[in-house]
Structures are given as C-alpha cells and as structure tokens.
Structure 1
Amino acid sequence: MKLYTFNGLAKVLLGTALLLGPTSCSDFLDEKDPSNLTPGSFYTIPDHAEAAIAATYSNLRFYGDGSGIFSSNWQMLEAVTGTSTTETAQNSDLNNLYSLSYDGNTQHIINYWNGLYRLIANANLVLEKVPPITPMPDAQKNKILGEARFLRAWGYFNIVRLWGDAPLITTPQTASSEDFFPARASQEEIYNFIVEDLKAAEAAGLAWMDISGRVNLAAVKSLLSKVYLTMAGFPLSKGASHYKLSADKALEVITYANANPTVINLFPTYKDVHRESLKNRVEHIFQIQYNAVVAGNPMDNYYPNFKPVTFSGPGGTGSSVPTRSFYDSFEPGDLRTKDQEGWFYTSYFTNGNGARFELGAPYVFKHFNQTSNGSEGIAGTRNNNLNVPLIRYAEVLLIFAEAQNELGAPTQAAYDAYKKVRDRATLTTPALGTFTQASFREAVWRERWYEFCYEGITWFDMVRLRKVFNEKTKSFDNFVGHVNLNTNVPLAEKHLLFPLGIQEMLNNPNLKPQNPGYN
C-alpha cells in the first residue's frame, strides 16, 4: 500500500488550528512553529479531534475527483454496468471501462484504490490519536470514534468488493512500520473487520439522523444490513444466517422510520431526491457532502454533450449518458422515466431558464441541481451545492424485501417494503399471493436496477448476485457471458474483480499475484 503522509491532513488541520489559536503577542511568541505539527504533537484538545474527523470526511470526495479529460472517478462504477454509454469517447481509460478492456494502468482504478486507502489512513489516525485526548467529553469522543469506524468500514467495504483480497491496514503507517509493505488479507477477514467496525459505531451513541451530514445511527444500521446482504451472496455465500442478519438490521431502520415518518421516509417526489434544500434529510440517510465554496457537486459528466441545459450555455461532456435500451426497459407508466419528474429528462430550458427545447435522447436527471442550473423561468444560483447520495431509505426497504424473501418466501412485510418503492413510481404491484419466492426475488432485483441506476450501486449488485438484468428479456442472465448492450461485449469471469494498479504492485511486491485474468 502507498504511504499516505500527514502532509495533506496537516494542511486541513492547520487551518483549524490557526483559526482557534491564541491572539495575544505573548501567546503567539510562546507558540511552537505550526509548520512542525505532527500527528504526535497535534492531537491535544477536542477541537483537534473535530478537525481530524472533518478531514476524514473530506476524503470521501475522491469519488468525484477528475480522472483525465471529460471524466471523473465515479464513472468507473457506471461504465461497466452496461446501462450507460458516452457521447464523446475522448477519454481512453473511460472507453476501456465501457468496453471492459481496462487493466492495472486504468486511471480510474488507480484513483479509487488511492482514494479509499487515503480515507482509511486518516480514519486510522483518528482512532489512534483521539482516545488519549484529555480533557474531552466522553460523548463527543465516542461519537467521533464511531464516525471514524463507519468511514473506515465504508472504505473497506468498497475495497473488498472491488479487488477481493486486499491489505487490511488498521493503524497509522510510517516508513518504519512492521507491515509497511503489507500482504493481502482474505475477503472473509476483511468482511469480519467491517462488521466489527460497524458494531462499534452502532454503540457509539450516534443520533438516528444528523442533518449536518455526519454519520448517524440509521446510516450505520443501513450499511451493516447491506454488508450482511453482500456476505450472504457471492463470494462468501454465507446464505440464510446472513440473510436473516440483513433483514433484522434493515427492519430496525424501517421500524424507526414507521414510528418517525417525518424523520426517515421516502420523499414524496423524485425531484426531492436531488433538491438541494433537502440534503441529509428524510430519505437521504448518508451522503457525500458538497458545497461550492469548498467543492461543488461533481456529477456534471451526466450533462448532455454541449447542449445548453445550464446557465453556462452549451457545455457538458455527455461522457455518461443512459443507454436507450435500459431507458426503454422500464415498465410503461413508470414515473421514473417521465421527463423532468423521475430519473431522466428528455427536454430542458435554454441556458437553464429559457425556452424549452428537446434533447433528442434521455439524460440522467437524478443528479441535476435545478437550484444551481435554473428551471423554467427561474435563473439558477450557479453554485452547485448538491450532495451525492450513498445510502437512501429506498435501499433499506429493498434490502429488507430481498433478505426476508431469501428466508423462505415473500412475507407481507417484505411485500409492503417492495410495494412502497413501486407506489412512488405510480406502478401497479401484483398481489402478494401471485408471487413465488423465485419470482419475488427477481422482482426485487429488477426494482433495484430501476431505483438505484446511476448511483454507483448496480455494479456491486451484479457481482454479489452473479446475475445481470437483461434489458431485452426483462429477466436475469448469469454474470459470465452476459453481453453489455452499450458495447456488445460479454462479461467474463475476470470482471468479477478489478485489477490492482500496476505501479502499486511494483511498489509493493507483497501484493502479488495480480487478480486472475489481468497481466
């Protein structure tokens, strides 16, 4: 693993230290040179702990960082699903992701690895350096440590699903660390560590929801239910025991939501999902935080290629756009396909707020910020402060429906959770008695494809299920051999994992061998 030095974190922490520092001349003269701050000398007061966890949160934003011309890191998880394509084809690495011909030199893959381990490195610093801070209120300390555990678990949950066996780094590293060149831990070991972290976060005294965007109890329970669901499927195949753990944990969130519907619920409209004023509320259980002052929303590669849908006029790259085959596969009448009402738009307003014009194709509306870009007759603010969703309540409902069904047959509670998601789409759901376990299983999978498209979720479903939605037959193919219609290239066994970065393997020979099928 690469060594992530303290320099980047120190810059973030230094800004807080200077803002909070003393102002008198004598105090200033007595202060140590702030440029000499180290992890050992910095963590001394509660404000330092708060600054450190803030820096860890900021590492989540690697998701939206650039990856060459007309591309961002997040596109890695969309290009490979077959549900999106490109109008520009200017980025060779992104093209290789679309065509399933990527390798260990593909920049998006390298950036994902570096970004996730940087997040983990800073979480490890918090978990080691915050406990000794005295005096510090126990509730504040426990909360910060719980947040760090969640963020580290989220990082490893992504790593283990993308690369399988991987280094399991649990403490801050220096050049003299015993495991400075770590070997890869098994997937089971990593999953067990993730569960341990999330259980610790669950006991950290977090509030059920937190509109500031910090980790909350609902997020911890939701992620844990998703981890259990993944462990139940491939590659660990834990089966019934973990389907039950998943269903039970999701039910805890649903039970709280039913008792507190103004706190956790589905939004009444799909527009609310990408309404800037509703960040970190109701359906949004956990999000990556964005604010144009620090970092604006990074999803602009979903904009059409040089069509004037925003205040900027003709712009956008169109480097991630829906495939027509996926868009056309939605059920007739599904509100999610309605222009500017659901996940797509087929027309918009010139320069954001002018005359309506037809786009000629469907584009992703799910991440479109009308507050920033403008809407009919209303000029935009030009500041895209929209967050990126990581966990929505809709997913908790469908996790519960899927996991509960795997315990024998669809129950009324599983059916109700499934139906609640479809009701918002204004779809008629067949009666519970018409479903078998097998047909309900595929119905829930299909709903996941439609509800969570373009949120970085579909690829992970493909891998854990070893199944892929076939847009022509509306059924599910085996992963190996399924043909992605965006490029007409079949998925192979090797695609179940991404390759490790070539340079990373040169830096650390203990990472060998490369994942199967890659050079």
Structure 2
Amino acid sequence: MKAISTYFIAFVTGLSVLSISSCKKALQETPYSFYSPENFYKNESDAKAAINGVYAELYTYDLYLQPFWNITILDDDHVSGADWFLGTTGAGNPQAYFGWQAPWIGCYTIIARANTVLENVPSITNMDADVKKRILGEAYFLRGWAYFQLVQLYGGVPIRLKALSAENPEVNVPRATVKETYDVIISDFKSAETNLFPLGHPKAGEAGRVNQGVAKAFLAKTYLTMASGAATGNVTVRGGTDNGYYTYAKNIVAGHEGMDSKALYTLARDKAAEVISSNLYALTPSWKDLWSIAGRNNKEQMWELQSLAGTAFINNLSAYFPARSTFGQGAVWTTNNHYNDYDIEDKRVLDGITHNYTTLQGTNIFYPFAQSALYKVVNGVTYNNSNTATSERAYTIKYSAVADPTVANSDAFFPLLRYSEVLLMYAEAENEVNGATTAAYDALNTVRFRSFPTTGTPAVPVPAAYAPTGMTPEQFRSYVLAERARELNLEGIRRFDLIRWGIYLQVMNKIGTGQNNISKVRARKNLLLPLPLNELNSNKAIGGKNNLDW
C-alpha cells in the first residue's frame, strides 16, 4: 500500500503518523516540531514532514477518528440507529456529545499548521521546485478546506491567515461575515488549483494527497453551496412520517443574502465541467467494487481519507456502520423510508445494503421484511426478521471492507470527494443556469446508469435507470437533491445539502420522531453548531456571543 508519505511528525502532545509507503515497512524518521520553524525548515524532507503534519490532523479525535463524521452523518433525515449512539448529535443535541467542540479545534489546527507551511516553505532553497509548488498548493487547499467546513458548520468565523508569533501575537480576532469567509475559501482553492498538479502527473504526489482536480472540484462545491444558499424557489422532498412528497418554499441561508445565485451557479458549473472534461476521472463500473479494499484510491475516489491497520491512522467507522460489528450489530443504518426511495433494481440497495448477515452473537438476520421472498432463505441458510423497528436495519456496505472487522478501530477508508458528486454538481448547476438541458440530464443519468443493469444488444440501461424526462427546473432541482441522497448516503453530505437549500428545519420537523424513536425535531439553533467555550472565553473580539439560541 502506498499512501501519503513516510514521515513522523511530532506535535506538542507527541508523535502522529501520517502514512507509510509500505504496509510492512516500519517507520524510523526524525520527529520535528511545528514550534521551532527557524530550526526546522531547512530542506525538502522538512517541508514534506510539515505538510504531512497538516494532513495528520484529519486522523485525530478532533476530526475523522470520530467527531467530524459523527456530527455530519448522524444529523439528517435518512439516518437511524441505536438510541445510545444517536441520542446526542443524532437527536439534535450536539452539546451532549463528547466531541461537540472538536470540529472547531481540528479545523483551526489545520489552519495553523497550513499557515506555518505557507510562511516557511517558500524560503527553503534545498528542494525540488515542483515539490515545493505542490506542497504550497496542498497547504492552501487544506486551509481552504478547513474554512469551508467551518463556514458550513458555524457561519462566519475568525480569519487567521498568519501563524501566531512574536510578530503576529494577536489572538483576539473578530468573526468575519459569511461572505468574507467564503472569499478566503475561494482564494485558497484558487491558489491550490494553480500550484497543484493534475492526477497522473509525476509530481502530483502519492495516493491520499489532494491534486489539481480535487481543488477544482472543491472550488465548484464552494460556488454551489453559496449559490443554493442564495437561491429562491421551491424544493420537493420525500419524507415525513408517511414517506410522502412534500414541497417546501426554501429559505435563503443566513449570510447568503445579496449573493448572485445564478452567477455563482455558472461558476460552479464551469469548474465542474473542467474536472469532467479533463477525462482523468471515471465512475467505478461496479457499485460493490467501489467499496472494496481493491477499489480504494481509484479514479472515482478523488480524495479518500487513507487509513492503515496497525498505525495511528485508523478510525472506528467499521465498528458503527456495518451490519456485523464489535457491538454485535452496527449502531448506524439508513432508514426504511430512504431505502424505499431507491428503485428495486438499483444496485445501491441491491449490492450497497447488507440484506443477509450474522451478528457477533451468531444470529442470522435478513433485511427488509417486505422482501422476505428474496432474502429469508439464501443458499440453504434461513435468516430471521421480526419486522420490528429494532430488526429492520438497512446497513450500508460502505465502511465494512477492512483488514480486521473484529477490532473497534480499523482501516476503513472515508470518501472525502467522489467523481459522482462532481457529475451531480454539474447537473444541479446547469439546471439552475439553463434549465433541465440535455447536458444536465447527461450528467445526472451517467450517475444513475452505473447503478442499474443493462439489457439488449448492444447493451443499454434498463428503463428504470433513466431520470424522468421533461422535468421543469424545479422538478429537476428536487430530483438531483434526491439523487445526491441516494448516491452519497451516509457520507456526510445530506445534512449540508438540506441546510444549503434552506429546508433542513422543514424536512426534519416533518418527520418528528423517526425510526427507532430517534428524535428528528430541530430548532433554529440546530442550523449552526455552538462555538466552543474556550473560544468564547479566550477570544475577546467575539465578545462572548454564541450562535443563535445557543
């Protein structure tokens, strides 16, 4: 396995490993500190170690070891699970979760480390010029990525573009507006795009690093988020207690007032089109193979969180999401209502949901009860299902392909960007600019065709694979939002989609109490997370004022 690099990074709390070049090769590198840059940034190895330290924060209990995916995945209309796990963030009560302050801390740690790289790497003379350029591009990207997460989770935030030092000692920084925060994000992603190399370039870096295509895609995603937040109109969503179709008048997202939605959608469409026309990325033909160990770091998985069993770079995704887990059964699953939003021929449920499994205690279970003719008896084995809320669990396969499923912390890879999302971003943006054009349909159907069987000679997708023809722009908008939910289920996308479209509160409260008695009731305060107490107390420029109603 080749992953991000082969360096140890020492931080204040100790050592943290970013990756290794071989699963069998032990690491023996000199530890470095971010706190003595004048003694550290001497050569190319130092620069590589420093940028690896920025990536390394993704693997901590601030971010993807658990808190970040917990907060972003568990809080939407399509997720259910054990009440002992979803009873905090999953029930709209994030402050009861131990990691509620972690995303702020993790993102600002990335920002601080990226600032140090950007300030010190340019002065290194003893290194390859292209590698220097790439490292600076990675630092710009990761800083922009961190601010992008912050503005979505907290609104406008303090902007820190220089490392704290004797020359820059100011810790009291006021909150920027949402627009000002987006300006920084766009600037950083553009700088990343300029400095990074495309996929396949000999200097683009190892698997797990961001490249030019990733920067372009996140720039498109930023424009798309701003555009939808500023858009007006209606959105139809399937949901509620009866899984019916409900049309909501969208709200303009706070801070997006006055933004030019159509102009931003044009920028989003054009940047997504650059990624598509590069022909460097492609959908994995098999949905099931996409989530296998062999499917990691393929041309669809544009940016994946690299993990490796036996190192510090692990997470506990495989303990919570797969059907069989260290808990006996997984603690998170997709709702029955969302399962029913897929066509019966859709491989995203045929192959992407676990229909037959054996718990750690040895109990054979099938899902769903309504399709017992298909799944009750398979290969001579009889499976059981009591047709109750506790037994009807649609477990995803997305995080089950790990080296050792018997350990709580393992090497599950997490998708940070997939090419299918780029296609859906293009479809959404093109529709908002020009309506449901052939180009918008082509991008949408490209994603759908992968998930359906074919028929005839020459082979063509079955009729169910095609999105309905003749949709109005509003219908197409709603369909793409639903398709994003089907394609990107349990990947930390749905909550952000509902919020950027200004329908999060309406959709969640239409459910009320969801499957397994998980509360979906939400108030205005749930649109943003509360600022951490340490930030409120230490940053005097904020004045102790938290987000709305917190």
Change in Cα spacing, 1:10 to 1:503, as seen in structure 2 (3 Å) is: closer
What SS class does the counterpart of residue 490 from structure 1 fall into?
Answer: coil
Q: How far, CA to CA, are the matches of 2:501 and 2:466 in structure 1?
A: 24
Is contact 1:81-1:484 (8 Å) kept? no
1:198-277, aligned counterparts within 5 Å? 198-209=189-200, 212-234=207-229, 235=253, 236=256, 237-257=259-279, 263-277=280-294
- Output the CA distance in 2 between the equivalents of 1:136 and 1:102: 45
For residue 453 of structure 1, report the CA deviation from its aligned partner.
1.2
Who is 1:136 aligned against? 127
Q: Secondary structure at the match of 2:12?
A: helix
Structure 2 partner of 1:58: 56
CA distance in 2, matches of 1:367, 1:8: 34
**Number of the residue aligned with 1:153:** 144
Aligned to 2:330: 318
Cα deviation code 1:471-514 (max 9, x no counterpart): xxxxxx84585435533543333222111122331232322321
Q: Distance in 2 between matches of 1:300 and 1:369?
A: 5
For residue 534 of structure 2, the aligned residue among 503, 507, 514 is 503
Deviations 1:42-84 (A, max 9, x none): 11111000011111111112378689xxx75411112221322
Cross-structure match for 1:457: 493
Contact 1:345 1:364 in 2 (8 A): yes
Counting matched residue pairs gives 468
**Root-mean-square deviation over aligned CA pairs:** 3.4
What SS is found at the alignment partner of 2:415?
strand
Using structure 1 for the length normalisation, give the TM-score.
Answer: 0.81
Aligned pairs for 1:284-299 within 5 A: 284-294=301-311, 295-299=313-317
- Residue 90 of structure 2 is matched in structure 1 by 98
Asked whether the 8 Å contact 2:43–2:124 carries over to 1, the reply is yes
Offset at residue 159 of structure 1 (A): 0.2
**Would you say 1:422 and 2:413 are equivalent positions?**
no
Q: Distance in 2 between matches of 1:66 and 1:134?
A: 35
User: What does 1:468-479 correspond to in 2, within 5 Å?
Assistant: 468=504, 478=506
Cα separation, 2, equivalents of 1:212 and 1:352: 37
1:276–1:385 contact (8 Å) kept in structure 2: no
> What SS is found at the alignment partner of 1:145?
helix
SS at match of 2:357: strand
- Look up the match of 2:511: 483
Question: 1-side partners of 2:83 and 2:521: how far apart?
Answer: 22
TM-score (norm 2): 0.77
- Partners of 1:57 and 1:444 lie apart in 2 by 32
Match of 1:300 in 2: 318
Residue matched to 1:364: 395
**Equivalent residue for 1:48?**
46
* Whole-Å separation in 2 of the counterparts to 1:145 and 1:439: 42
Distance 1:175 1:449, change over 3 A: farther
Partners of 1:218 and 1:465 lie apart in 2 by 25
Q: Is the 8 A contact 2:141 2:192 kept in 1?
A: yes
| Aligned residue number for residue 172 of structure 1 | 163
Alpha-carbon distance between aligned partners in 2 of 1:189 and 1:418, rounded to the nearest angstrom: 32
Q: CA deviation at 1:200?
A: 0.8
Alpha-carbon separation, structure 1, partners of 2:167 and 2:427 = 49
Kindly indicate whether the alpha-carbon contact (under 8 Å) linking 1:267 and 1:273 is maintained by their aligned counterparts in 2.
Answer: yes
Hey, what does 1:193 align to over in structure 2?
184
Q: Which amino acid aligns with 1:507?
A: S
3-state DSSP class of the match of 2:464? Answer: coil
- Following superposition, the deviation at residue 227 of structure 1 comes to 0.4
What's the CA shift string for 1:437-471, capped at 9, x where partnerless? 11111111110111111101111111110125xxx
Task: Look up the match of 1:181.
Answer: 172
Give the equivalent residue in structure 1 for 2:349.
337
SS in 1 for 2:100: helix
Give the corresponding residue for 1:38.
Answer: 36
Q: 1:393 to 1:352 in 2, by over 3 A?
A: farther
Change (3 A) 1:154 1:9: farther
Unaligned stretches of 5+ residues in structure 1: 22-32, 258-262, 375-379, 469-476
Deviation at 1:195, TM superposition (A): 0.7
Cα distance change on mapping 1:36 and 1:393 into 2, 3 Å: closer
- Give the number of the structure whose residues are more often helix, by fraction: 1
Determine the C-alpha separation between the residues in 2 that align with 1:453 and 1:493. Answer: 24
Q: Partners in 1 of 2:104 and 2:196 — Cα distance?
A: 31
Unaligned stretches of 5+ residues in structure 2: 1-8, 21-26, 230-252, 365-380, 386-390, 453-462
Deviation at 1:319, TM superposition (A): 3.1
**Alpha-carbon contact 2:308-2:410 (below 8 Å) kept:** yes
